[in-house]
Homo-oligomer: A and B are copies of this chain.
C-alpha cells in the first residue's frame, strides 16, 4: 500500500477507530450521553460504511454495533457485508427482526439473502410478498449465482416507440424518482419485445417533437438470464456500459443489469481467485472462530501434506546417495525452490491469458517454445552461478556441474508444466486457476529432487 493510499482510506479508518473507542468507553462508563454519541455517529454513516465497520470488529463489539443500527437499515446493511459476517449477524436476530429487515428489499436483493436466512422464517417471508414479488424471487433463485438471472433487477422504465420525446418527458415527470443508475429507457412493443433503447442523453439533446422511433438505438449489448456474469462484466468493462437489458429467448424484456452489480462481480472474482490460489475456500471473516478457520483451510493443507509426502518419498529413494555425499541434502532445496518460483510465474501468466480467452491452438505452441527458451537461459545463467558456488563450497567440480544441469532441467520442467497444466485443466472443463499453485509446486518439488538426486547417483557415485 502506497503512502497516498494509506492517507486515502484514512477517513473510514478514523470512523472505525472512533467507534472502537466509543464502545470501549461504554463498557467502562455506560452513561446515556455516551450511548447517544455512539448512536448519532452510527446514524450518520452510509449503510456501506456501517458494513465496513461491522466487518472490522470482533464478534462481541460487532453485535453491540449491530443492535444499535436502526431497524429500517438492517436489510441494506445485510446486503453489503460479506457472507461470513452476514451469517454472524443473522444468528443474532430473531425471526421477527429478520422479517422486518428484509421487508423493504427488492426481489433480486431478497433472493441474494434467502439462502442465508434460517429456514423457519421462509414460509412467512414468502407469504408476505405479493404475487409478482414472489415470482421474481423464485425466478432469481432458479439461476446459479454466476448467471445473469441471479443478479438482474426489475426496476426498468419502459416506453413505446410511437410517441414523441415530449410525451416521454411528461411520462417521466409522473415518477417520484427513477430507478438507481438509469441511463437509458427500454423501448418495447405491445408483446413486451425489446425493440431498442433510448439513452437519457438522446432524450435530452434532441428536440421534444422528435419521435422515439427516430432516435432510439437497437441495443447490441443485450444479455440473457443464463449468461455468465463474468462474461457480462467483461462486456460492461469493454463497452463502458452503465445498464443493459436482459431478455428471454423470445426477445421479451425481463430485467436489467447494472454496473454497480458488475463492479462487485469484478471485485469478488479477483478476490476469490487470490484466496483460492492459497486454498482458502471462501472469503473468511477475519474474526471467525478458530473452528470456522480450520474448516475453511483444512482441505488445502491436507492436499499439500500429500504432495509434500510424495516429494519426501522421492528423496527416500536416494537415501543411499545422500549418506555417501551429504552435500546433496543441503543443495536439493535450491533446485526445487527455483523451479517452483519460475513455474509459478509461468502458470500465473498462462492462467490469466486463458481467463481472457486469448490462447488459440496455434499460439499455444509458440508460448511453449518461448517459455522453454526463457527457462533454458535462466537455467544456464542462474544454475551456472549456483553451480560455481557449490563447486567452491564443496571443492567438487562434478557436483557443481550436476547442480547446474539439475537446475536447468527443473526449470524446463517448470516451464513445460506451467503452460501444460492450466491448458489440460481447461480441456478437462476445470477452472485453471484453482489449485494451480499447489500443482506446479508439487511437480517442481518432486521433479527437482528426482532430477538432482538422480543425476548425482548417475555421475557422482
Contact = CB atoms under 8 A, between A and B. Distances in A.
B239 A56 contact: no
Contacts of A266: 263, 266-267, 270
Interface in A101-119: none
Nearest to A173: B205
Contacts of A432: 1
A301 to B, nearest CB: 6
A360 interface: yes
Contact of A278 (B13, B46, B237, B344): B344
A338 B326 CA distance: 24
A161 B399 CA distance: 82
A105 B19 CA distance: 47
A57 B362 CA distance: 10
Contacts of A9: 228, 231, 234, 356-357
B178 A204 contact: yes
Given A56-B353, A277-B348, A322-B326, 6 more contacts: A5-B230, A9-B231, A17-B360, A182-B201, A237-B267, A315-B329
A240 B181 contact: yes
A164 interface: no
Interface string A357-379: 11110110011001001100110
Contacts of A342: 297, 301
Interface string A173-204: 10111101111000000000000000011111
Contacts of A304: 337-338, 341
Contacts of A24: 362
A399 B201 CA distance: 76
A183 B180 contact: no
A392 interface: no
A308 B339 CA distance: 11
A257 B205 CA distance: 22
A185 to B, nearest CB: 10
Contacts of A313: 330
A275 to B, nearest CB: 6
Nearest to A176: B205
Contact of A366 (B52, B58, B200, B277): B58
A8 B148 CA distance: 11
Nearest to A350: B286
B312 A330 contact: yes
B293 A370 contact: yes
27 contacts: A1-B426, A1-B430, A1-B431, A16-B357, A55-B356, A56-B359, A80-B238, A176-B205, A177-B201, A177-B202, A177-B205, A182-B201, A183-B183, A237-B263, A240-B260, A274-B277, A275-B352, A286-B350, A287-B363, A288-B370, A290-B373, A305-B334, A305-B338, A312-B330, A316-B330, A322-B329, A341-B438
Q: Which residue, A202, A230, A286, has most C-beta atoms of chain B within 10 A?
A: A286
Interface in A285-344: 286-288, 290, 293-294, 297-298, 300-302, 304-305, 307-309, 311-313, 315-316, 319, 322-323, 326-334, 336-338, 341-342, 344
Contacts of A121: none
A400 B293 CA distance: 27
A172 interface: yes
A345 interface: yes
A366 B262 CA distance: 34
A242 interface: yes
Contacts of A322: 322, 326, 329
Contact of A331 (B144, B312, B333, B378): B312
A459 interface: no
A297 B146 contact: no
A149 to B, nearest CB: 11
Nearest to A343: B278
A397 interface: no
A308 B287 contact: no
B181 A348 contact: no
A312 B334 contact: yes
A20 B362 contact: yes
A429 to B, nearest CB: 6
A386 B207 contact: no
A356 B226 CA distance: 33
A259 interface: yes
B227 A301 contact: no
